[in-house]
Amino acid sequence: MHDLSKKELHIRFQEAVDYINSYNNMIPADILLNLYAFYRIANGNLQHAGGSKPLINGFKANALFQLQHLSPSQAKIAYISLCEKEFDFKSRS
């Protein structure tokens, strides 16, 4: 997957995001936090999300902090790989 063009990587990433957005089963919290952090990093949004639930915001901030070393491309690859591993996601492209 590391040899994909930027465009191909973006398409596969968007397919994985769409897949997760339409996923109807429960997603374990640790996987959901990783998906959240990968998504935010992939889109260049490292600012902490505000919200009314401080505990949840803390977990989100911690997930971002732990993965902040990734580049946007690395985060996209990690998001896709996690979807393939945990949800049997298959890219259409």
In a domain, 39, yes or no: yes
pLDDT digits (tens, 9 = 90+) for 9-42: 999 999 999 999 999 999 999 999 999 999 999 9
For 64, the domain range is 6-87
In a domain, 93, yes or no: no
Supply the CATH number for residue 81's domain.
1.20.80.10
In a domain, 1, yes or no: no
What's the mean per-residue pLDDT of the chain? 89
Rounded alpha-carbon distances, angstroms, from residue 50 to 39, 54, 72, 75: 16, 9, 22, 22
Q: Mention every residue, 6+ apart, whose C-beta is less than 8 A from residue 9.
A: 1, 73, 76, 77
pTM for the full model? Answer: 0.87
In a domain, 59, yes or no: yes
Number of domains in the chain: 1
